[in-house]
Amino acid sequence: MSEVLLLRLLIAFVSGWLVVAAVTTVADIYGAGRAGFLGGLPSTGPVGLLLIGWSQSQAAAVQATSIFPLAFCVTFAFLLFYSLPVHRTFGPRITIALLLWLVLSILVASSQFDDFFISITVSIVLSLIILVAHRRIGIGDLMPVKTGFNLGRTFWRGALGGCVVGGVVILSALGGPLVGGVFAAAPAIWTSSLYVTYRAQGLEFTRSLTKSFMIVGIITVLPYIAAAHYLFSAVGVWWGTLLAYVAISPTALLGWRLTRSR
């Protein structure tokens, strides 16, 4: 394995470690709102797209952003599948949600679709429909069983998330721009955070957490991809990634205001 690939893997692992550790620790202390805010922000996607640009080319990263909105829409549906009011324990629930996500993602990747305008438009419409369907389920807000901060627990939680995110991000960088765009939108952070939070807070708390993930995800991830699509072409993937984050700061602030009281 080359040193460059190892460096990419390290970047992916550390980014996943930081996000999952932060989300699950905040969930224990403050609840689903603030944790959902952190978990809903763009994280795996930007790292995956950055590595596509690094390992392949700037043009490949731009092409990956074209299919990313449709892939994100499928990932958004993953949260709906997971949170449905059916009598299933965590294991079957998350397994079925992931299988449905995988099947739909394969269909998206097989389409080889690369029209960004249609992709982002369809994704916005479908994501809003999914959000409305999720709200109609009527999931209540639950307060966490506060456990406080524990350094060892936080480390191992982050390590689990880092392994999952690292694997997904590396696959996104090695699978070609369109396949990579699909994997970059994979629910790695959400899956890891749901699992860890389930172990600490229980199933119903994780269902509550999906509400904040959805709210913040729809108002930050799609604007991020729209900004990245044009900025990558104009200033390259490194500056494009940074400036895309700057561009979504108003929507991130809105997400914070909408979720801080949950």
Residues 210-232 have pLDDT tens digits of 999 999 999 999 999 999 999 99
| Residue boundaries of the structural domains of the chain | 3-138+148-259
Q: Give tens-digit pLDDT for 73-123.
A: 999 999 999 998 888 889 999 999 999 999 999 898 888 788 899 999 999
pLDDT at res. 22? 82
User: CA-CA distances (angstroms) from residue 173 to 1, 55, 84?
Assistant: 15, 7, 32
Q: How far apart are CA 55 and CA 53, in angstroms?
A: 6
pLDDT for the residue 17: 80
- Tell me the one-letter amino acid at 228: A
* pLDDT at position 249: 95
Selection from 128, 106, 240, 122 nearest residue 183 by Cα = 106
pLDDT at 5: 67
pLDDT for 151 equals: 65
Contacts of 155 (CB under 8 A, 6+ apart): 21
Taking 50 as the pLDDT cut, the residues of the chain under it are 1
Q: How far apart are CA 214 and CA 59, in angstroms?
A: 30
Q: Which pTM value belongs to this model?
A: 0.87
29's tokens: 């202390």
User: Taking every pair of C-alpha atoms in the chain, what is the biggest distance, in angstroms?
Assistant: 50
Give the pLDDT score at 146: 63
- The sign of the dihedral angle between the CA atoms of 186, 190, 192, 194 is negative
